[in-house]
Amino acid sequence: MLGRGSMLVSSLFPLGVSGRRAGVLALLVWALVACRRAPEVSSDEVGEESSPAVLTIDAMDNEQHVLRGGFSVEAGVFRVELYEGSVLLGEALLEEGRWSIPWQPGVGSEFLEVVAYAMAGTEIRTRLDFQRLSFTEPEGLYAAEALLALPTEPDITTRYTLDGTAPGPSSPVYTTPLVLLNKRGQPAPLSLIPTNPDTSPETWRWKPPATPPVLATVVRLQRFSGETPVGPAEARTYLIGQGATSLPVLSLVTDAEHFFGHDQGIYVPGRMHDPSPEGTAGWGTGNYMQDGKEWERPVHVEWFEETGAPVFAQNAGVRIHGSGSAALPQKSLRLYAKEDYGPESFQADFFPGHPLRDFKRLLVRTSGQDQQNSKLKDCVLQGLLRETRLALQACRPTVVFLNGEYWGLHEVRERYDEYSLASHHGLNRKKVVILEGDGLLDTGEAEDAIPYAELLAYVREHDLSVPEHFAHVEARIDVEDFIDYHVAQLYFGNEDWPENNIKFWRHRGGSATPGAGDGRWRWLMYDLDAAFARGAEANSLGRLLRDERMAEPFVVLFRGLMTSPGFRERFVARFHWHLDNTFAPERVLARLDATVELLAPEMPQHIARWRYPESEASWRDEVQRLRDTLARRPEVMRRLLQEELGSP
């Protein structure tokens, strides 16, 4: 509202008076009213500063070609003009502290200037200089306010969207450069969609963001000949006027229905929750608990380095990843590179120092159940084992945006499958066999589960303290791999193992040359979110050796091998070596602290978005508990080795 002076101006000059003449008349009337109603000013009030006048350019409707902004109501603004260079484009429409004016950028547009005239006779100015971007060039993620040129061709119509939706025949037609401005203060509707039921336990129930999420601008385009699409849909993501993060950025773009629709959305409870909300194991039910091709959705993927430099952009498939953790508010994803969508692999240097840069599948992981606590355990602990021969998942902490909305901290990870194992070891992927649990088939043919079942049967029926019986088993498993794997799991005190999160693999028809292709079973390390759940004192070794509650198929091989004096000696010696080297406190704490330093700048924004961990202070408390455990664990394990196995 402009006050009585403005109302009086409106009544005196309702029609026919505009422009600067009206402004002069308005100033005279305003001054008259001000003189009549001017309050007395005490000596204490003299010199007090008034609120600074504000004038902004903050939104552009590219479809309707309308530029918008705001101004301080208390400044008594009665007219706002828009200039392009030195050319007056017109006078804006004013309403409740907002202004708007039709405008289309031209080929030569370089900057705009907005001038607001106040009734006190002052002018407020703001200027906007444009960066020029081209959709067809590999532009960076971070940009100043910009004019974006989309590609055009004769007899082809370019249509676009700015909300993540795939452009269709009725989407806006591109005619002039798109104006990209900072989206601060604009709605973030996806972040307000509950991602688990309101009946979920309060400790992991979805909560709305504490503050408005950071917003990126997502531009999707599709070329058309008439109503027929020409070529694939494309997308570009820009963070306009935003500071750089300390981490790489992954931008995912898809129709909102693919993630949040009741019937087909993979990120919500949806139709799979309605008939039987209880589910099993306390996690409930939901669309996010489904898997398989039926629950794969198309997505556009862009990857940017910390500097904002683009690495790749391509169409792909996406599914929810994980079991129980899928019921938590923030969910892990699995990306598929397929010919159905575009390139058949993701080709990039995702992981510094990693031997591979070609991946069929990638995980975008939220740290599983640890997302509410330290949010770094699995990534850090697997990283400690890089110098062993164990199969491990490379890890890169990453910030994710979904349809331009800040989606928080994730980890880009390798996924264990026939493609990754074959690539690492130069094997035929069609001969890679992966089993899980107590010997269930994950990858391969039905008969591929038989050799492992036969191995367990042999262990049950034979005394492995007899050298030839042990030799029979040693010919079928990589004993060194088995030892390293179990040493690590026992040191970590993993409470969600071995009756869960256990996989092992072999190459069918192995060669005579020792190595990954020799046909012996080897183990896969993953999902260490429950590591150290019982603290530094947990007797994980005693649990694995004696706990009768553990299902026999999960412990029969380890317990059988421990009857062999030779194996037992090798196991104890290797455990002590790892405690002195791999798990030396100074080494472990240095790795932990480096990751904490990497994540710390991003944690406040992540916590504001998801409300888990509960606060930055609680996150640091959790990290400190982990530090204390890591510092004490080697001493505890040495004592347990002596108590359980009589080692010196």
Q: Is the dihedral of CA 192, 196, 199, 200 positive or negative?
A: negative
> What whole-number distance in Å separates Cα of residue 380 and Cα of residue 595?
7
Ordered by where they begin, the domains of the chain are: 3-38+52-128 (2.60.40.10), 133-348 (no CATH), 428-645 (1.10.1070)
> What whole-number distance in Å separates Cα of residue 80 and Cα of residue 533?
62
Instruction: Please give the torsion angle defined by the CA atoms of residues 511, 513, 518 and 522, in that order, rounded to the nearest 10 degrees.
Output: -170
Cβ(452)–Cβ(523) below 8 Å: no
Q: How many residues does the chain have?
A: 648
pLDDT at 106: 84
> What whole-number distance in Å separates Cα of residue 362 and Cα of residue 318?
10
Is residue 506 left, alpha or beta, with left meaning phi > 0 and alpha meaning psi from -120 to 50?
Answer: beta
pLDDT at 2: 36
Smallest CA-to-CA distance from 234 within 113, 135, 91 is with 135
Residue with tokens 């996406």: 318
Token pair of 344, please?
């058949």
pLDDT at 51: 56
- Chunked mean pLDDT (size 10), the chain, 648 residues: 34 35 35 32 38 87 96 91 94 96 91 94 94 91 96 96 96 96 95 96 96 97 97 96 93 98 98 84 90 97 96 96 95 97 95 94 96 96 96 97 98 97 96 98 97 98 98 98 98 97 94 90 97 98 96 97 98 98 98 98 98 97 98 98 92
Q: Number of C-alpha atoms within 13 angstroms, CB side, residue 181?
A: 21
List CB contacts of 627: < 8 A, sequence separation 6 or more.
589, 592
Token pair of 591, please?
């790795």
pLDDT at 10: 34
DSSP state of 62: T
DSSP state of 588: H
Cβ(172)–Cβ(157) below 8 Å: no
| 432-436/395-402 β-pairing | unpaired
Smallest CA-to-CA distance from 648 within 575, 581, 586 is with 575
> What whole-number distance in Å separates Cα of residue 601 and Cα of residue 593?
13
> What whole-number distance in Å separates Cα of residue 376 and Cα of residue 625?
13
Q: How many Cβ atoms sit within 10 Å of the Cβ of residue 235?
A: 27
Q: Number of C-alpha atoms within 13 angstroms, CB side, residue 311?
A: 20
Token pair of 466, please?
């007899």
Cβ(262)–Cβ(190) below 8 Å: no
pLDDT at 337: 98
